[in-house]
């Protein structure tokens, strides 16, 4: 693969990164932009140029910790900074659209956290702004950058699974119980939806990415909210999002698919799981064992068939060769680092290791998210492409 450790002293121009957001994703992205040129040969070196956040004191502390050159009093000021070439949007979902659209109109490249937006209307506006701009867009579906997931896509593309018949995807977490205080993620006005937009967005993207197929129809959907209110300081606040959403679907190639996302699956911390069954073989992936892929080769003689484990850490596996020797495991943060490197590649005329999602791609995932909600609430089959 093309990735290798960067050579010290090589001449590269800098790519000024502006971060809008300083919390969990702020740390993940700041680390990725800093680490990418340490592991990958890049024509431009990402530089943390500016950061903006709702809390200016926290933004200054963030800038000091992560060696960001400057802070901006508002995201509008960050977008106007001439030294910022790419705006990285890490805010609650309802702010994705205004920030991204303003950045695109200012001629800045944009990388945005998932889901693309909190609503279909905002997502469509972002897609249209991207189409009208010469700047590039990217969406942080970071699980695409797991070497095991990259291998799944390669196996499917090479025909090793044959025709896909089934896709099963589930994302199970357990942190959203009644003891968890009120957060923006539990407010539909800020998040759009709960486990559905947060977790099913990843699952939909993974199925589309690995199979190369679109989700043609959605049916059999349901959503559930068990925790109706949460602690917010000394008072109670209403929780207005789903705790779990499940739906069935059919892929464009005819395969059946199931999706389940919940924050109340006791004992599951970050169980992002995918299984594909084809006419020649099957694969199983669980992010809690992210360096491994289970593989069934049905083309073998019957006496040799069985589930085998592939340790996806060899140099031949996507992105893995940029990091450590085989079986010296990589972690959550490396998916972001690999994606940051591929973004820089895309901006400098190099080819990413595997395709990156842009606003148009992520809008199709948003259409599926919306179709599932319509199906759940109206009890009917829905075609996601009706919303494009």
Tokens of 303: 């006496």
Domain boundary residue among 108, 142, 176?
Answer: 142
Are both 255 and 367 inside the same structural domain? Answer: yes
pLDDT of residue 12: 65
When divided into structural domains, the chain yields a total of: 2
Residues 350-359 as b or e (16 or more Cβ within 10 Å = b): bebbbebbbb
pLDDT by residue (tens digit) across 64-87? 999 999 999 999 999 999 999 999
Domain boundary residue among 82, 117, 142?
Answer: 142
Contact between residue 116 and residue 126 where contact means Cβ atoms under 8 Å apart: yes
Are both 196 and 162 inside the same structural domain? Answer: yes
pLDDT by residue (tens digit) across 243-274? 999 999 999 999 999 999 999 999 999 999 99
Residue 260 lies in a domain: yes
Indicate whether 333 pLDDT > 50: yes
CATH classification of the domain holding 234: 3.30.360.10
d(CA 130, CA 152): 29
d(CA 323, CA 11): 22
pLDDT by residue (tens digit) across 204-234? 999 999 999 999 999 999 999 999 999 999 9
Are both 261 and 119 inside the same structural domain? Answer: no
Residue 112 lies in a domain: yes
Structural domain boundaries enclosing 239? 144-324+359-378
Are both 371 and 275 inside the same structural domain? Answer: yes
Contact between residue 59 and residue 20 where contact means Cβ atoms under 8 Å apart: no
317: left (phi over 0), alpha (psi -120 to 50) or beta: beta
Indicate whether 198 pLDDT > 90: yes
Are both 116 and 197 inside the same structural domain? Answer: no
CATH classification of the domain holding 37: 3.40.50.720
d(CA 254, CA 132): 34
Compare 5 and 13 and report the one with higher pLDDT.
Answer: 13
159: left (phi over 0), alpha (psi -120 to 50) or beta: left
Q: Calculate mean pLDDT across residues 40-67.
A: 97
pLDDT by residue (tens digit) across 122-171? 999 999 999 999 999 999 999 999 999 999 999 999 999 999 999 999 99
Contacts of 281 (CB under 8 A, 6+ apart): 155, 160, 161, 162, 295, 296, 297, 298, 299
Q: What is the DSSP string of 65-89?
A: HHT-SEE-SSHHHHHH-TT--EEEE
d(CA 66, CA 114): 23
Indicate whether 10 pLDDT > 90: no
Residue 388 lies in a domain: no
Are both 87 and 201 inside the same structural domain? Answer: no
34: closest CA among 83, 91, 78, 88?
88
Indicate whether 174 pLDDT > 70: yes
Domain boundary residue among 94, 126, 142?
Answer: 142
Tokens of 172: 């199970």
Are both 198 and 129 inside the same structural domain? Answer: no
Indicate whether 26 pLDDT > 50: yes
Are both 168 and 275 inside the same structural domain? Answer: yes
């Amino acid at each position: 693969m093309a990735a290798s450790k960067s050579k010290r002293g090589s001449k590269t121009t800098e790519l000024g990164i502006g971060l809008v957001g300083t919390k969990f994703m702020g740390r993940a992205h700041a680390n990725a932009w800093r680490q990418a040129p340490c592991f990958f040969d890049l024509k431009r070196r990402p530089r943390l140029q500016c950061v903006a956040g709702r809390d200016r004191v926290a933004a200054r502390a963030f800038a000091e910790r992560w060696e960001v050159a400057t802070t901006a009093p508002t995201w509008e000021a960050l977008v106007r900074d001439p030294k910022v070439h790419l705006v990285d949007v890490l805010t609650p979902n309802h702010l994705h659209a205004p920030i991204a659209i303003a950045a695109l109109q200012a001629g800045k490249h944009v990388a945005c956290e998932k889901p693309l937006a909190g609503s279909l209307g905002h997502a469509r506006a972002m897609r249209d702004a991207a189409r009208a701009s010469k700047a590039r867009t990217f969406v942080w579906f970071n699980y695409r950058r797991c070497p095991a997931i990259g291998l799944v896509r390669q196996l499917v593309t090479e025909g090793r699974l044959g025709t896909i018949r089934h896709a099963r995807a589930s994302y199970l977490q357990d942190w959203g119980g009644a003891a968890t205080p009120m957060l923006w993620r539990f407010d539909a006005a800020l998040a759009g939806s709960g486990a559905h937009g947060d977790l099913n967005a990843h699952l939909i993207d993974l199925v589309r990415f690995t199979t190369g197929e679109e989700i043609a129809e959605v049916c059999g959907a349901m959503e559930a909210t068990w925790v109706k209110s949460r602690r917010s300081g000394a008072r109670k606040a209403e929780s207005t999002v789903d705790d779990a959403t499940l739906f069935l679907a059919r892929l464009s190639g005819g395969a059946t698919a199931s999706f389940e996302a919940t924050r109340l699956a006791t004992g599951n911390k970050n169980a992002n799981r995918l299984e594909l069954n084809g006419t020649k073989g099957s694969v199983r992936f669980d992010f809690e064992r992210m360096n491994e892929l289970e593989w069934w080769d049905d083309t073998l003689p019957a006496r040799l068939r069985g589930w085998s484990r592939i340790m996806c850490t060899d140099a031949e596996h996507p992105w893995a060769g940029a990091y450590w020797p085989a079986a010296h495991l990589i972690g959550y943060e490396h998916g972001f680092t690999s994606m940051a490197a591929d973004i820089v590649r895309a901006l400098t005329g190099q080819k990413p290791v595997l395709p990156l999602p842009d606003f148009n791609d992520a809008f199709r995932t948003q259409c599926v998210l919306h179709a599932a909600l319509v199906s759940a609430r109206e009890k009917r089959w829905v075609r996601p492409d009706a919303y494009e």
